[in-house]
Amino acid sequence: MDTPLAELKNLILRIADVEDIKKAVGKALSSEVGSDEVFNSLGEALEEVGKKYERGEYFLSELMMVGLLATEIVEMVKPHQDRSTKTLGKVIIGTVKGDIHDIGKNIVIMMLQAARFEVIDLGIDIPAERFVEAVENEDAAVLGMSALLVSTVDEMKNVMEELEKKGLRDKVRVVVGGRPVTKEFAEDIGADGYAEDAIEAVKVVKGLVKE
């Protein structure tokens, strides 16, 4: 018989009915599994889903649905969290100006929330000034920028320049991602991190926050 955590993980991977998942979360918590272990198990499930997606075994809608389940599980677990458990930090995220694609960004948001980050979602088609304004006003650890079009990716450079101009560059760590974004581009524009996919984005953000 599966342990409560293993059962929960299997239900997530099967994109089971939300009522079954609620029961499994309840079972895990009442079997003296701490909220931290539930979050860890959730993280493992998300990582596995990410790998299956990369291999073509899971489709985009499944990746999105698992991300959504993850945020729902986070809400289920929150009332049971130890008082000492805080969020790991605040992340501002948006899609750059001229780009209206947001599915990838939204998956990253769901996974960051599942990993206990607080996320400020600026939305799509965001000009440099709005990113900078958010960095100024929010006490965020990380700024994440997403682009799906080759023609919009240079907007990330504009944001970096604006942050420098306003003296805010050192206030926040910057992570970039999206289909046309490469590690080399990220280095060229002076970003602190680059993520090829949503799973890696969470790892990179966690790493930057720890530094």
Partner 1 sequence: MDSRERVIRALESEEPDRVPITEIDLEVPVMEKINGEIFPVATSLQTQVVADRKLEEKKNKFKIECYKRVGFDLLVVDLSAPETWKPSIKPDGTMIDLWGRTLRLDKQAKAWVPYGTIFSTPEDLDDFEFPDPEAPGWMFSTEYSRSLVKDSLGLATFIRDPFAHAWEMLTPMKFVPWMYRERKFIDSLMKKLTEFNIEIITRISEMGADFIISGGDYCEEMGPMAPTRFFKESIFPNLRKQVEAAHKNHLKLIKHTDGNLNPILDDLANIVDGIHSLDPTARMDIGDVKLKYGNKLLLIGNVSVDSLAKKSRIEVVEETKECIKQASPGGGHILSSSNSWAGGAKLENCLAMVETGKRYGTYPLMHMR
> Which single residue is written with the structure tokens 């998956």?
107
Least Cβ distance, residue 66 to partner 1 (angstroms): 10
> What's the order of all strands across the beta sheet hosting 89-96?
117-126, 89-96, 142-146, 173-177, 193-195
- Contact between 123 and partner 1 by CB under 8 A: the answer reads yes
For partner 1, the binding residue among 18, 120, 168, 209 (CB under 8 A) is 18
Least Cβ distance, residue 200 to partner 1 (angstroms): 15
- Contact between 188 and partner 1 by CB under 8 A: the answer reads no
Q: Are 88 and 206 in contact (CB under 8 A)?
A: yes
- Taking the C-alpha atoms of residue 40 and residue 45, their distance in angstroms, rounded to an integer, is 9
State the number of binding residues for partner 1 (CB under 8 A). Answer: 28
Name which of residues 40 to 99 contact partner 1 (CB under 8 A): 53-54, 56, 59-62, 64-65, 68, 97-98
Three-state secondary structure string covering 104-162: HHHHHHHHHHHCCEEEEEEEEEECHHHHHHHHHHCCCCEEEEECCCCCCCCHHHHHHHH
Least Cβ distance, residue 139 to partner 1 (angstroms): 26
Residue 96 β-bridge partners: 126
- Contact between 103 and partner 1 by CB under 8 A: the answer reads yes
Name which of residues 134 to 153 contact partner 1 (CB under 8 A): 149-152
- Taking the C-alpha atoms of residue 47 and residue 53, their distance in angstroms, rounded to an integer, is 10
- Contact between 179 and partner 1 by CB under 8 A: the answer reads yes
Binding site for partner 1 (CB under 8 A): 15, 17-18, 53-54, 56, 59-62, 64-65, 68, 97-98, 100, 102-103, 106, 123-125, 149-152, 179-180
